[in-house]
Copies of this chain bind each other. A is one copy, B any other.
Amino acid sequence: MDQVRTLGKQLSNWGRWGAEDERGTLNFITPEVVKRAAGLVRRGQVFSLGLSFGADGPQIGQGGRVNPLHLMTAVDQRLPGEYPDGFRYADDVMVLPLQCATQWDSLAHVHYDGQLYNGFPAATTTSAGAARNGIDKVGPGIASRGVLLDMARAAGVARLQPGTAVQPADLEAAARAQGVRVERGDVLLVRTGHLSVFKSDGDRVGYMRRMPGLGMACAAWLHAREVAAVASDTNSVEVIPFEDPTIPLPFHLLCLRDLGLTLGEMFDLDALADDCAADGVWEFFFSAPPLKITGGIGSPLNPLAIK
């Protein structure tokens, strides 16, 4: 853990946007960045990057995360009162772990040494939710320039092997090969192919237990490029099993707690990647606002990429 502590101090953004800041690197998304990002819409084609929320999701119950429970509370129902026959309605309720499918992790999701991003005490999160750094603090959504790096395609494989740690040099090489630059305020989407395999084999345990992903060293790379947020097609963005088996989820700790960098998980990047490979354009307008869940640790969503 001392390695994380040392690196965390080097990469820290605490105080960078003021003592009360709860948005971290999302502050890199300025109106100017948004405006330029909108200019990337050339064909008007919209890609949904969200998984379905339903019983066939990827969850295996680990840590209490189950697939969503969808309950119909009205089916072919009349209104109460004396109305002539005619009007009928349906209504429904959902019970869902907020990180059960495509989702953003808030900056309150993980921590170490008793402090969250920007030094807020970990004890600000209670059974009432996150008083600090919750997903409701993201502000007016997450809309920016998106850049996709397709690591599987770059490696010429359907999927990076589970357990493969992507290194900064790999990101550099993929960007170079694709002819795209990662810039300040970007949302970086990293495709490993892991979700494609799950979509075809339906092996939940295979999808959730081991996965390719960013190695710990990528935190510094993201910090240097002033990326606003990172999302991937796996459940953790980072590699599992961990690079150092004694340090769990080091990339989470560094990004969420030290950089204040929001992470997106289980983004479905397949159709978008196919399109980018076809037209050679790996940048696009990206719009992915979380639900404004009061004190929420994460939020389900349906992210859009528009080219």
* Chain A residues with a Cβ under 8 A of chain B: 1, 4, 30-39, 41-48, 50-56, 61, 63-66, 68-77, 79-81, 83-99, 108-113, 122-123, 125-130, 136, 139-141, 143, 246-249, 253, 285, 287, 289-298, 300-304, 306
What residues of B have a CB within 8 angstroms of the CB of A75 in the complex?
Answer: 74-75, 77, 125-127
Given contacts A69-B69, A295-B54, contact A38 B129 (CB under 8 A): no
Residues of B close to A293: CB separation below 8 A: 52-54, 68, 70, 94
Which B residue sits closest to A70, measured CB to CB?
Answer: B129
Known: A64-B73, A74-B127. 18 other contacts (CB 8 A): A31-B45, A34-B44, A50-B289, A51-B292, A63-B128, A64-B127, A70-B129, A72-B126, A75-B77, A83-B246, A87-B249, A87-B253, A89-B110, A91-B97, A91-B98, A143-B287, A291-B300, A291-B302
| A39 CA to B285 CA, complexed, in Å | 12
A64–B91 touching, CB < 8 Å: yes
Contact B90 A130 (CB under 8 A): yes
Neighbouring B residues of A113 by C-beta, 8 Å: 86
Report whether A304 and B34 are in contact in the complex, using a CB–CB cutoff of 8 Å.
Answer: no
Residues of B close to A35: CB separation below 8 A: 41-44
